[in-house]
Amino acid sequence: MRKIYKYSTSLTSQLAFCATPLRLDSYNNCQFSCGYCFARTRAGFGRDEKLQFANPEALKKRMARVSSGVIRSALDEFISRRIPFQMGGMSDPFSPIEAKEKRTLQYIRILNEYDYPFIISTKSDMVGTIEYSTALSEANAYVRFSTTVVDESSRSRLDKGCPSISQISYAAERLSSLGVPVSFRFQPIIPGHEHNAEGLLSIANNSGVKHISAEYLKVPLEANTKFSSELIDLLGGDPVSVYMALGSRRQGSEYSLPLSYRGGYLISMSKQAKTLGMTFGFADNELLLHSDGNSCCSASNLYLRNANFFSANIVSLAKKKQLGEKLYFSELACQWLPEQSLASYLNSKSRLKGLQDEPVKWLSYLRKIWLGEYGQYSPLFFDGISPTGELDNFGIPIYIRDVSSFYSQLASNETRITHHHSDITEAILTR
């Protein structure tokens, strides 16, 4: 008997910085076998868990109820606000089972009834087939294809079961020809393989892609056992040691390459994308302020119609600031916030405790993030925000939007990618 996926519609824990934190998943995991599977390494589950199926009928009833004005939860409030859904936030909505089950297709048709905005994230070309492209041609949708930045032979070994880049290109071109905005998300970028981005940018341009976003591979603490053998081999047999040797710093439960390594490559990709007429998003979280558009790294606010975005977060606040302007926590309280509780949408490590006043829970949660008491995403995490050393009337730190070295480099289009970088990377990966 098929098990229903209870948490197919929810809010993500990225509320501190995400303008589109509304998630809609057709399945609890996907059938692709990517060597870096984010769901498996980050959330503790993934392709090893038994497949569960979403119930589109539940969304249909919720949409009808919310549209009639009956609001029962914070999730309903987000929908009433017309904040876009992200389809594929936890698992690919177009893994092979979709050809039989068509849960994603049902979701698309339900959302089309309300011209409701949504973003699709996928590694599959199924989205470009006649049945799906026809449905999407009538949708208020934005399709984002994830493409690993590595040579194609390695890609086939890392992204097992996924279509080739030529198949993705064909699907993107078909959707684009039907007026569906399409994005390529360079994720993950494998260090030492950045030169492959140039070819992918050319393919994207020829396929009618409007936007590029880019994010480097993050290496979880358990990467040496949880990454696929192919990826482990590609990273010198010891991903954690390789990342540490490249100067990586630990962020939560994973290692991220230093900006001194990533910066020049990312800026070069940005410059090339814009030269080709595409917008660009820096998808590494600390660089979100430097992305085009006002909706995280996807720039979906530029490509979706009649949509609102969640602006009561640090990145959205900072994006509204000119250089030299200060950021006050009290400004978040002036943004739209749900009146009902958010606690049930957060995982067990993030839930608020001891707060009884439901409407206050949102501001209490955001305040703790601002103070660095919940995770790492305080204002200081983001490049381009600095402390002033001042406190507001409530004793809460005041920050300022400033010129970082990365911003200066980006603004002047100085890429600074040196042979030294490449030589160090090659030496470490082939040792």
pLDDT in tens, 306-324: 999 999 999 999 999 999 9
pLDDT at 417 over 70: no
| Averaged pLDDT score across all residues of the chain | 89
The segment(s) of the chain belonging to CATH 3.20.20.70 are 9-302
Region 43-47: mean pLDDT is 44
pLDDT at 240 over 50: yes
Edge-first strand listing for the sheet containing 118-122: 9-11, 22-24, 85-87, 118-122, 141-149, 182-189, 211-216, 279-282
Kindly report the pTM of this predicted structure.
0.91
Cα 76 from chain centre: 22
User: Would you state the pLDDT for residue 36?
Assistant: 81
Confidence class for position 357, pLDDT limits 50, 70, 90: very low
Taking CA 108 as the corner, what is the angle to CA 100 and CA 121, rounded to the nearest 5 degrees?
85
Q: Spell out a b/e string for 40-59, using b for 16 or more CB atoms within 10 Å of the CB, else e.
A: bbbeeebbeeebbbbbbeeb
Q: Which one of 29-43, 94-108, 330-344 scores highest in mean pLDDT?
A: 94-108
pLDDT at 241 over 60: yes
pLDDT at 423 over 70: no
Q: Spell out a b/e string for 64-103, using b for 16 or more CB atoms within 10 Å of the CB, else e.
A: eebeeeebebbbbbbbeebbbbbbbbbbbbbbebbeebbb
Region 327-342: mean pLDDT is 91
CATH class of this structure's domain 9-302 = alpha beta
Confidence class for position 354, pLDDT limits 50, 70, 90: very low
pLDDT at 7 over 90: no
CA distances from 31 to 93, 363, 386 (A): 10, 38, 43
pLDDT in tens, 19-40: 999 999 999 887 777 878 765 5
Confidence class for position 428, pLDDT limits 50, 70, 90: low
Confidence class for position 341, pLDDT limits 50, 70, 90: confident
